[in-house]
Chains A and B, each alone.
Chain A
């Protein structure tokens, strides 16, 4: 399934909806979306992953980039990650570094 990363700014929140398969071939699309979000200087980054079917380490590296680009004070929320995508985050220790939520208001 084709990958997409769509950014929506809601107040001081940057919301990015990820869909499809996130591998090294498309990770730069995600990184560029994070970069656009960073330029808005959000206080919170919310990533909706319920429609993300696959995530390779290239996707995890973009999460590291997001944190380092936006700064320590910008919390990253991961919403709806399930099954193997969640498992990949757990194996890599990322579940401790972001706020995991099943849903988001």
Chain B
């Protein structure tokens, strides 16, 4: 597993996407699956940086770990921001997604796009650390 530690700042998002995209290309993932994984990681990283660190007045890092087995490519994001399990976020309903833009709530779409875009997502809180795991099938 290859690890990269980046400062938890929005400016790091493009670097995080680049790391994920390179790992996908090395693993032979399709362009479409690569984009879905990069988007998912980007959305959760944005939440970590914005809500987990900045809004709490905290600073810290995000550790990006890239792994691969015969079956799947995994990306693990670890941070020490405030505890947050993305799976507890209420997902927009079909009715919400049909609403005209005038009536839309601003927000709530990022986690929906993240969780809908990957083949497997898992979250753990261990000690003072959030661990968000994303996986894409390689077959």
Contact = CB atoms under 8 A, between A and B. Distances in A.
Interface residues of A, number: 29
A61 B100 contact: no
Contact of A23 (B46, B101, B109): B46
- Interface of A, helix, strand, loop or mixed by DSSP: helix
Interface of B: 10-11, 13-14, 17, 31-32, 35-36, 38-39, 42-43, 46, 49-50, 96-102, 104, 106-107, 109-110, 112-113, 116-117
- Interface of B, helix, strand, loop or mixed by DSSP: helix
A64 B106 contact: yes
A64 B36 contact: no
Instruction: Pick from A64, A72, A88 the residue with the most CB of B within 10 Å.
Output: A64
Contacts of A84: 31-32, 35-36, 39
B101 A88 contact: no
Given A25-B10, A57-B110, A57-B113, A68 B39 contact: no
